[in-house]
């Protein structure tokens, strides 16, 4: 299974659609997870025909509405993935998922915390934001391993981590 992850599009729908197309054509992603800011952007991806899971960001009206969940937890391809825009919205059990996805900081990271991989795909807001270039992430799961990579807009890999599947939560 291949999953694309993006965050912090903040209304830059041109860049968001460009990356969504990369995810589908270059990386063969079956699903996109949009981890907030802007929920309306993520909804537009769904309306454009992409398979999308999404959570609202802190600045979205949906975040405070109570009608839209601030976090999602799903088991995809046998891997439990928890996602929220900000880590503060995840409970302890969700922080122990196989893969924990957050955004908010605009800084792309992949970090092993205990038996979990914590991933922030960065941002797609603009050419530079908070000193960071735009980026997105890919999760690739096989029977033996899970690989998470952060990519530049060119598709070049900025950072990659591979973990034996048996080592994940």
Residues 37-68 pLDDT 10s: 999 999 999 999 999 999 999 989 999 988 99
pLDDT, residue 129, reads 85
Question: Would you list the domain boundaries of the chain?
Answer: 2-167
Number of helices (H), then strands (E), in the chain: 3, 11
Q: Which two tokens stand for residue 49?
A: 């025909």
- Domain 2-167, architecture per CATH: 4-Layer Sandwich (3.60)
pLDDT, residue 57, reads 95
First-to-last CA distance in the chain?
18
Residue 23, Cβ density class (10 Å: 0-12 exposed, 13-18 middle, ≥19 buried): buried
| pLDDT tens digit at each of 169 positions of the chain | 999 999 999 999 999 999 999 999 999 999 999 999 999 999 999 999 999 999 999 989 999 988 999 999 999 989 999 999 999 999 998 999 999 999 999 999 999 999 999 999 999 999 988 889 999 999 999 999 999 999 999 999 999 999 999 999 7
pLDDT, residue 158, reads 97
Residues 107-118 pLDDT 10s: 999 999 999 999
Q: Are 22 and 134 in contact (CB under 8 A)?
A: no
């Amino acid at each position: 299974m291949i999953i694309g992850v993006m965050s912090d599009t903040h209304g830059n729908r041109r860049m968001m659609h460009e990356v969504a197309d990369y995810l589908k054509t270059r990386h063969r992603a079956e699903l996109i997870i949009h981890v907030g800011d802007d929920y309306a952007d993520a909804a537009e991806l769904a309306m454009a025909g992409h398979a999308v899971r999404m959570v609202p960001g802190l600045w979205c009206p949906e975040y405070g509405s109570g009608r839209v969940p601030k976090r999602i937890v799903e088991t995809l391809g046998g891997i439990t993935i928890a996602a929220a825009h900000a880590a503060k919205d995840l409970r302890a059990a969700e922080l122990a998922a196989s893969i924990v996805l957050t955004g908010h900081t605009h800084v792309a990271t992949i970090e092993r915390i205990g038996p979990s991989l914590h991933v922030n795909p960065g941002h797609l807001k603009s050419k530079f934001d908070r000193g960071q270039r735009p980026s997105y992430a890919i999760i690739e799961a096989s029977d033996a391993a899970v690989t998470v990579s952060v990519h530049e807009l060119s598709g070049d890999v900025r950072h990659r981590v591979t973990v034996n599947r048996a080592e994940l939560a």
